[in-house]
Amino acid sequence: MKIPPVKGTRDFYPSEMARRNWIVDGWKTASICNGFEEYDGPIFEYLKMFQVKSGDEIVEQLFSLQDRGGRDLAIRPEITPTLARMVNQQINSLPRPIKWFSVPRLCRAERPQKGRLREFFQWNIDIIGVDSPEADAEVIFTSLDYLRRTGLTSEDIRARISSRRLLAAVLGAISIPEDGFDAMYALLDKKAKLPPETFEALLREQVSDSDQARTIMDFMALDSVDEIERVVPLDENVEGAIANLKSVFASLDLMGVTDFCVFDPGIVRGLAYYTGVVFEVHDIVGELRAICGGGRYDNLLRDFGGPAIPATGMGMGDCVLEILLHEKGLLDSQVPRRHLEYFVACADSESEPAMYEITAKIRAEGHSANFSYKRGGLSKQLKEAASQKAQRCIIIGQEYSDKQELVIKDMTTGDQTSTGADAFLTTLRSD
């Protein structure tokens, strides 16, 4: 009986693993270049930790279980709550700012669809301990910095930036009750997924006052921070939120990524813990889900029992990213092909002991080397070397065995040279 993989998961054969490694290595390189340090946590946590502040959408997607002691656990659907727990545990000894990144494997019990699986990898970057728009800008810049490194341009992707703080200020300025903010966030977060007439009908169901509903519609239609003052009543909260958002855009301009960035008040983000600037990066065509998203979450550490410390961060999954890079022809063209440096072949049975010895010594010097398990004639071994994409084939035996010499065949050009075994190994040590 053949057992298939669980729906919504992936098998990583060597070619798929090469793509995954290329993406993950790129995430790590961009993180380190932008001053972040790597961390990780357990793959499962106490269930209640994700119920504290992750939001209804995440909680409904949990893979939960009980251990033998009857404790309720969950496989991590995201890593930000783990980050909050870890930072709280050592809050007094960690130097500020805390700039960490992680590439966890995550699981969510949801319906698999294009760009969204039940198991995936996610790049997370976070800056903790900095309450300034420059930190928000750096999170956005680092996300775009990686995407630029893959070859994507401002003609391919766009960072859509908004602010939960601004949205709350706008709702307050038009007298929407604060206890209705969460329901309003949930509705506004769906705007891009709904036909305009459907969204407007749902909004008017939730907001009976026509002037309030019109102001919200006008605000959601804006594409410039400078236009906010034209449609929204100004008060101290609105003005402060506008100034903060303008500072973020100013920093992004100085960092040279203005062409990638736009103001989009429709970006709300579904997770409950966001408190300030929020953003998502989308393909310009708009056929895919968000490539990444994040924002400011100043209350999260406090909600997990720690002090109130400002924080901002981002998460980028590998599924949508891989689809987009493949569609743009930027994936397989950049993923390194298999790289076997040496294939050691023996021309006769008497040379087999030397084949094992030379192979082991090549590997001991930090180089990759293989040999044939089937052996057979030299021509078959050379074909096997070619199938494994070896750069060079080391041939032992025949007329060279008495002289303790090796034939080194370049598998690309076909050129052959001979050298002593000791001299060859000495050359390897100097590489």
- Dihedral angle sign, alpha carbons of residues 299, 304, 309, 312: negative
Task: With beta carbons less than 8 A apart as the criterion, state whether 244 and 234 touch.
Answer: no
d(CA 317, CA 282): 12
Of all helices (H) and strands (E), which one includes residue 406?
strand 405-410
pLDDT at 118: 95
Helices 210-220 and 164-173, axial angle in degrees (round to 10): 150
CATH code assigned to 340-430: 3.40.50.800
In the numeric block, the tokens 């298999």 are attached to 338
Distance of CA 106 to the CA centre of its chain: 11
pLDDT at 289: 92
| Residue-wise pLDDT tens digits, 23-64 | 999 999 999 999 999 999 999 999 988 887 655 566 778 998
Task: With beta carbons less than 8 A apart as the criterion, state whether 107 and 75 touch.
Answer: yes
- Compute the C-alpha angle 8/13/17, nearest 5°: 90
What is the separation, in whole angstroms, between the first and last Cα of the chain? 50
The set of long-range contacts for 43-47, using a CB threshold of 8 Å and a minimum separation of 24, is 43/75, 43/76, 43/104, 43/105, 44/73, 44/74, 44/75, 44/76, 45/73, 45/74, 45/76, 45/81, 45/82, 45/85, 46/71, 46/72, 46/73, 46/74, 47/72, 47/73, 47/74
For the chain, the maximum distance between any two Cα atoms, rounded to a whole number of angstroms, is 98
Domain 14-327 fold:
BirA Bifunctional Protein; domain 2 (3.30.930)
Spatial CA neighbour of 130 closest among 167, 178, 95: 95
Query: Any idea where the domains of the chain sit in the sequence?
Result: 14-327, 340-430
The ranges of the chain with pLDDT < 50 are 400-403
d(CA 358, CA 103): 38
Task: With beta carbons less than 8 A apart as the criterion, state whether 58 and 90 touch.
Answer: no
pTM of the model: 0.91
Helices 236-254 and 133-149, axial angle in degrees (round to 10): 40
pLDDT at 55: 56
pLDDT at 403: 47
**Coil, helix or strand for 416?**
strand
Distance of CA 380 to the CA centre of its chain: 43
